[in-house]
Amino acid sequence: MKKNGFLCTKLIELDKRWRIGAVSYLNTLPFLLGIQQSDIMQRIELVKDYPAKIAQDLMDGTIDIGLVPVAIIPFLKDPYLVSEYCIGAEGPVASVSIFSQVPMEEIETVYLDYQSRTSIQLAQILLKNYWKQEVEFIPASEGYIQKISGTTAGVIIGDRALAAISQFTYSFDLAAAWIAHTGLPFVFATWVANKPIPAEFMKQFDLANSYGLTHLEEVIAKVPKHETGYDLYKYYTQNISYQFTADKKKGMELFLKNLIID
C-alpha cells in the first residue's frame, strides 16, 4: 500500500543521520564522552571544532545541530533550542576571562579572542556597563596571547584560559562579573538547531549528553595529561554548570537583548 506523505516524512526523520557540531574543549568532554560511546553515534555525523567555526557551520547549514555560542542565535533564520543542557556558569567559570598584567582601571587595549563570538560580546558589554572602562578593542589572531603586556589585555577562552591563570597577574572572570552585574547566571553555549528536530531523537541525544555528567571520574581519566594545571573535577562541578535552567534562560535572554550588533 502506498504510504502517505506524512508517514514518508516520519520514516525519513527516523533514518536521517543528523549532522552534529560540538566544541572540542575540556568543558564539552562530559557531553562528548556520552555521545561517542552511545548508540546515538549510529544516527549522527559528529564534527568537532572551536566555537566560532561550529557557529558558522550552523549558519551555513552544513550541520543540523551545534553546541554554539549563544550570540549567534539572532543571526539564525529559524533557531531552535533543542536540549536540556548547555555550557553555563552560576559562579566564576575560570575558562573565560580578561587577562592582564595591570589592574582593570589601567587597561587601555583589549585583544578579542577569535574563537568565540559570545565571549567577546560579553567582554565588551561588561567593560562598558559593569567596569565602565573605555578601551580600544583589537580583533585577535593566532599568537595574540604573547602580545598581552603592559596596558594591553586580552580575552582568552577555553583550555588556553585555564593555562593562562598562572601566567598573568590579573584575571577578570567574565561569568563572575556578569553575575555580579545582573544577578543572573550566564550561558556561553547551548545546543541549537537550524530546523525542527524530532523529540524522539533529542530524548536519546540528551540521554547521551547526561552520561558524562554522572561519570566525571571516567571523563577525567580520559583526558591526556594537560598543561593547564587546573583541577578538572573542580572545573566540572564548581565552574561549569550544565543544566539549561529557567534562570539560565533568563540570563541568556538578557544577554541577547544587550548584544552589540555590528
Specify the DSSP element, H or E, that contains 247: helix 246-257
User: What residue ranges do the domains of the chain occupy?
Assistant: 5-91+185-257, 96-182
Q: What is the CATH number of domain 96-182?
A: 3.40.190.10
Same fold: 5-91+185-257 with 96-182 = yes
pLDDT band at 11 (very low <50, low <70, confident <90, very high): very low
Q: Which residues have C-beta within 8 Å of that of residue 134, sequence separation ≥ 6? A: none
Nearest to 45 by CA among 16, 67, 11: 16
Range in 83-92, 222-231, 252-261 the model is least confident about: 222-231
pTM value?
0.90
In this prediction, residues 172-198 reach a mean pLDDT of 97
Q: Which residue has the higher pLDDT, 220 or 7?
A: 220
pLDDT per residue over 20-37, tens digit each? 999 888 999 999 999 999
CATH, domain 5-91+185-257, list 3.20.180.10, 3.40.190.10, 3.90.226.10, 3.90.950.20: 3.40.190.10
pLDDT band at 16 (very low <50, low <70, confident <90, very high): confident
As to burial, measured by CB atoms within 10 angstroms (0-12 exposed, 13-18 middle, 19+ buried), residue 128 is: middle
Q: Which residue has the higher pLDDT, 68 or 117?
A: 68
pLDDT, averaged across the chain? 91
Residue identified by cell 556561553 is: 188
Would you call 153 helix, strand, or coil by DSSP? Answer: strand
Nearest to 28 by CA among 81, 87, 75: 87
